[in-house]
Structure 1
Amino acid sequence: MKKNLLRVTLAASIILGGSGIFTAQDASAHGYISSPPSRAYYGALEKNTIGYQAAQQKYGAVINEPQSLETGKGFSKNFGINLFPWETGASGNGPADGKIVSANDALGSQISIQKENYWKMNDINTGKLDITWHYTATHATSRWTYYITKNGWNPNSPIKRSDLQLIKDVPFTGAQANTSLTHTVDIPADHKGYHVILGVWDVSNTGAAFYQAVDVNIKNGTETTPPKPEKAPATPTNVNATEITTTSAKLTWAKVDNVQEYNIYRNNNKIATTSANTLTDENLTENTTYNYQIEAVGTNGQLSEKSNTVTVLTKSAEQKDNQKPTVPAGLHTMEITETSVTLMWTKSEHFLGVKNYEVYRDGKKVTTTANTNFKDTGLQANTTYAYTIKAFSLGGNPSQLSEKFSVTTKKAAVTSGKSTWDKTKVYNSGDEVFYNGLKYQAKWWTQNEKPDESDAWKSLSNTAVEWSAKKAYNAGERVIFQGKTYKAKWWIKGAQPSTSNVWELV
């Protein structure tokens, strides 16, 4: 097998311009594959070569945000890989066939166009392959999966699930994605010519994932790297556990030569794979003993002996809490609409663990949450809001407030005479509005009744919305409840989709 080492490295930085490609507004976005350049990233690069208008016509809005190809996760379920029980679930199985590359047309449908010799290709060889993710914001992560088009796929038809085969599954612990993480995937020896590689990054504490397609020309050329040693790598040493709390422990170990990644074992069960020499294991139980070992995976695929066992005893919540948690950092947006802002931030640290966070908007508390993300709704269009976050330890000790983060909601959209819902306006029967990106029509006179909650409105969109106990639903309407999608069999109001036979899973 010919080998071409192009490691999959995940690097994180907040981009504030400088490169000539992004602006400060892009700092709220997330991640894209930069090497070999993904289809989305080529769009961002080409706007500086073929011109902004030409690039926008070919690639669409992704030329400004290659890092924002985000939609529902669950794509791996089509290939026999289920979500972890502890992670936030997906509302479906990921993007629809034909819209996989564009993440359900998150920034338009242009990059889902599939034509031979239409997209810029990267020359590679079969064997070991390395791709670099550039993170503009790291997130808690449950896994990465990598796919390649099968032999015999149609390069002139939008990509669907049946066109793809799984080539790498990299499970993770739910911790923040390590900024120096590296994955190595194998390009099948029987592949040649034009193919598409799909990389999917699942966020653990939301129902979202990021999708990136890389167009490649597999040349089956000569090796571009020195031959790999056939002997097994050395056993990892200097394994230590630090930053132990009631629910987590940080593991570190000395780097080993000729290694592509490490396997981490907890109580003899493999829990994660990483190319970095550090990992934070989370979701542990307080006052409990855990045993860890590290195993090195050589660049030739050989496994080392497992390291000596390191024993960790998580802290007890009964210990005296006499210190403040670290200040929440990295506050950024996941999504901005006319009426909502979805926030995310980096987890705070405390020797006992962090219980929850308080979110403040313009100095006033709006919620308390145990998560590191929050969707603030009911906002005004084209309005600037300032957010701060405060963390609380298990013992109730508060951190200092985070730095202030300002966000401006989008302007109210006007499409064919229809506008975004305004709680101050009066609407009559037949009036149509947009609310949270979906279209609704008034059934009768109404004012200050949210379209996703009030019976005065009916949805004109096929997209499922979050279930509301306040709203009546007709046969065929779809809702999302506890991460799952349900369809009403007949008229229903107030009955939870998970307990009523009026609702069926779809």
Structure 2
Amino acid sequence: MTAPHAKKEWKYYKTKKDWNPNAPIERKDLELFCTYSDGGKLPEKSVSHQCEIPADRAGYHVILGVWEIADTGNAFYQVLDVNLTKSVSGNGSNTDANSTNEFKSKQYHDKITTLSWHPSTDNVSVMSYELFQNGHKIATIPGTSVSYDVSGLSQGKTYTYALKAIDAAGNESLLSLEITVQTTSATIPDTSTPTAPSNLHAHNVSAASVNLMWSSSMDNVAVSSYDIYQGSERIATVNGTVTSYEVAGLKSSSTYTFSIKAKDSAGNVSAASNVITVTTLESSPPVVEPDVPKTWAKNTSYHIGDRVIYKGVIYTCRQAHTSIYTWTPSEVLALWLPE
């Protein structure tokens, strides 16, 4: 014992005869079958107890050990998985194969189910398993197998399965617990709507566009797409893996409302997300480049209204012409008007 507290009582619980190992264990599945009282003594470093398992138990079971502390309301516990077996007479081996446990089913589609289990144990070896469907043996399976495909099932029907292990001497284990398999109907319409998208918000708002982002929806199969609404009008649809969208072509200094709806492949549409209101920014006035006159140059074509600078003075062209070196603005005022 690593925690040497004074012990009040040791209690041992086991699963009941009709418990279901394929379901979570509940308090009602356990029953007290063994107790030891310590009367408040400190335990030894190593403690062992002998408890008799009821004779009607076999196969996979769970044992819960609880030891209560004498001077507080606390307790410690330990859980054990056990395989319970019985001895029987037979030729060669005198011990039956342990009952198969963890027997379960995985349905691949509506006409085939795959059964699987943890292997049984035997003092010699397990030679085979016998599989029962609705109480009738349907297959003998090699002892090295731990799964089996059952085919030819009907749609929309319920089947029960149990498994028995057999050793080389012909000794048989008890039947495993039965499991139930329900095959699907020919068509099961998907009528579940996705959850509404959430946390819709805007960012990167400009004079003509806005980026929308949202948290993804959930669906019993998958979300196939999202519809983007501007007011009551659907303006775009994006793939179900996408959770953002840029709305372009908006007017500056204008107010818009946006919302999102999710859709699955069956056409089921979610409720709308939260509605957000976005106001675009003002548009910037156009940038006007200043009219900076260029320096006058010879052999250059000038037109009426062109402006040049010559020796620090600005001139406006009065007549279209091609300049020559003697027709400077200061010398030929018929061509140039000083400002």
TM-score, normalised relative to structure 2:
0.28
Considering Cα pairs closer than 8 Å and 6+ residues apart, tell me whether 1 or 2 has the greater RCO.
1
User: Which structure dedicates a bigger proportion of its chain to helix?
Assistant: 1
Bigger Rg, which one: 2
TM-score (normalised: structure 1): 0.19
